[in-house]
Structure 1
Amino acid sequence: MTLAPGMQAPGFTLPGAGGETIDLGALAGRKVVLYFYPKDDTSGCTLEAQNFNAQQDAFAEADAIVIGVSPDSVKSHDKFRAKHGLTFPLAADEEKGMLEAYGVWVEKSMYGRKYMGVERTTVLIGRDGTIARIWPKVKVPGHAEEVLAAARALP
């Protein structure tokens, strides 16, 4: 099933960095930015995390919470957050159930080799729990600002 704007966002409860539990149901009434990224501490993923981190105050003013999601472990997320001073939650989906529910665990290809991985995608969820917007195959430069503008525009 492919997700689309207007659909109910799939619910999830995942372990997060710092020992927290991240539960979409507990965030009802807030705007949620889920950004899916392939791997902690790689160049593109680090830049994307730093860009979202730099906009944390602005996202808070828009009443939106940013959550990064990857298949890395909580331990990996803890190191990634500490190394780069990240202040937003990072969810660990080692089982990949939530990544599959959002359609971002896909077959990828590099140098002719096929493998399964995360397609860099961002999903903006409205206060009512429905998907407001999806950015597939994200290019990192300017992306956090574009998502922020969409979050601000969402009632």
Structure 2
Amino acid sequence: MEKIDDVDLKILRILQEDSKKTTREIANSLNLTPSPVYERIRQLEKKGYIRKYVALLDKKHLGIPITAICMVSLRYHDEGFIDKFDSQIKKLKEIQECYHMAGKVDFFLKINVASLDHYHEFVRAKLSKIHNIGVLESYFVLKEITSTTQYYF
């Protein structure tokens, strides 16, 4: 990956905090003119430093306030079984995040649902239907202490 300079890093930090800031606002905060800032942002996008711009939504307002953490261990671990699990998990829209892990469990899932009843139905009707799941452990978030989409560098 090509190295970027301190100005690019400052631009990335600003955009992480608020991606709706205009080029002019970013330029003003860096004591630069908008044109080079615009070009820097375009290059950061082109080089893959910026993947996309999104809106962060409030799950409570959306009616999905329950967050479950689900630890999944597979029975069999050859590449075919793992690839099949990956493709099946991607189809389940309730799953916000899925990580393939090293350690005691194979996968870490973050799931958002409307209620415990909805979670029970999700596990019963969808998650448990995925072939090769050996162990499935669920944990429920009582309070979100901190949550961020920002990387610190």
Structure that is richer in strand per residue: 1
* Bigger relative CO (Cα 8 Å, ≥ 6 apart): 1
Instruction: Tell me the TM-score normalized by structure 1.
Output: 0.23
Instruction: Tell me the TM-score normalized by structure 2.
Output: 0.23
